[in-house]
């Protein structure tokens, strides 16, 4: 795959929807820690579901300290509609406890030390909050990168490396947002997504 072609494809994907078509889980929160927790909760869960859960969660717990002191069963109750809610409840409580009185780290190495924060979550956070050159590889990014011929790998870490080699650094932070938005709008079924991809690239 040629780098110029990949960039052209990314731009075409971005033009295939309006920026207001879909709010992603990381968008719109006032505090850095809220962005991080929203991304943590969004794993394997639709962003629309995550956003509604986060609105309620952050209304009940406006500070990390309050969240860190809450009974785990109460947190589970609030986030019960997200997938793996029990594991996520434990991890966001632990992370809240660690970060109380501190700033959220602004680098990958420290972020992935937090409970429940892997490379994908850390990279999406860094791109969203700090506008750093980072590529978060989730299921949408992995699936669409293979369909578009950007990678042949299935391992997220290897896909991340392939994309870093293929795209100029100034495009890295855009990749997750574009592919996730496209995937959530058109990826409800493989047929719908494939049809839309053909429409975009036949033009």
Q: Give yes or no: residues 88 and 39 share one domain.
A: yes
Q: Which has the closest alpha carbon to 111: 25, 174, 40, 46? A: 40
- CA–centroid distance for 55 within its chain: 17
First to last CA, the chain: 19
Q: Give yes or no: residues 102 and 16 share one domain.
A: no
Q: Is residue 140 part of a domain?
A: yes
Last residue of a domain, one of 98, 130, 162: 130
Per-residue confidence (pLDDT) for residue 187, from 0 to 100: 83
CA dist., res. 105 & res. 125, Å (int): 10
Q: Is residue 27 part of a domain?
A: no
Domain at 36, CATH number: 1.10.340.30
Last residue of a domain, one of 101, 130, 159: 130
Q: Give yes or no: residues 85 and 108 share one domain.
A: yes
Q: Give yes or no: residues 52 and 9 share one domain.
A: no
Q: Is residue 7 part of a domain?
A: yes
Per-residue confidence (pLDDT) for residue 18, from 0 to 100: 76
Q: Give yes or no: residues 66 and 141 share one domain.
A: no
Number of domain units in the chain? 2
CA dist., res. 185 & res. 67, Å (int): 32
Burial zone of 180 (CB within 10 Å; 0-12 exposed, 13-18 middle, 19+ buried):
buried
Q: Is residue 26 part of a domain?
A: no
Q: Give yes or no: residues 114 and 163 share one domain.
A: no
Question: Tens place of pLDDT for every residue, the chain, 203 residues?
Answer: 789 999 999 999 999 887 666 889 999 999 999 999 999 999 989 899 999 999 999 999 999 999 999 999 999 999 999 999 999 999 999 999 999 999 999 999 999 999 999 999 999 999 999 999 999 999 999 999 999 999 999 999 999 999 999 999 999 999 999 999 999 888 878 899 899 999 888 75
Q: Give yes or no: residues 91 and 150 share one domain.
A: no
Q: Give yes or no: residues 122 and 167 share one domain.
A: no
Last residue of a domain, one of 130, 154, 172: 130
CA dist., res. 162 & res. 39, Å (int): 23
Q: Give yes or no: residues 7 and 68 share one domain.
A: no
- For every residue of 152-181, DSSP letters joined together read ---SHHHHHHHHHHHS-GGGHHHHHHHHHH
Q: Is residue 47 part of a domain?
A: yes
Residues recognised as catalytic? 120
Q: Give yes or no: residues 113 and 67 share one domain.
A: yes
Per-residue confidence (pLDDT) for residue 21, from 0 to 100: 63
Phi-psi region of 84 (alpha: psi -120 to 50; beta: other; left: phi over 0): left
Structural domain of 197: 3-21+133-202
């Amino acid at each position: 795959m040629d780098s110029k072609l990949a960039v052209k494809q990314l731009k075409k994907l971005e033009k295939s929807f309006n920026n207001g078509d879909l709010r992603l889980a990381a968008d719109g929160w006032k505090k850095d820690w809220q962005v991080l927790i929203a991304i943590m909760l969004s794993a394997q869960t639709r962003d629309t579901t995550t956003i509604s859960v986060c609105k309620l969660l952050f209304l009940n717990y406006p500070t990390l300290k309050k969240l860190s002191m809450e009974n785990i069963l109460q947190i589970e109750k609030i986030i019960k509609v997200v997938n793996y809610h029990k594991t996520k409840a434990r991890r966001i409580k632990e992370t809240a406890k660690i970060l109380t009185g501190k700033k959220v780290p602004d680098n990958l190495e420290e972020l992935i030390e937090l409970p429940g924060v892997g490379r994908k979550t850390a990279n999406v956070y860094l791109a969203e909050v700090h506008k750093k050159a980072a590529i978060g590889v989730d299921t949408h990014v992995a699936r669409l990168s293979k369909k578009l011929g950007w990678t042949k790998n299935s391992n997220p870490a290897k896909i991340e490396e392939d994309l870093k080699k293929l795209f100029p650094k100034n495009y890295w932070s855009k990749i997750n947002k574009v592919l996730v938005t496209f995937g959530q709008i058109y990826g409800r079924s493989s047929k719908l997504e494939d049809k839309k991809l053909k429409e975009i690239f036949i033009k």
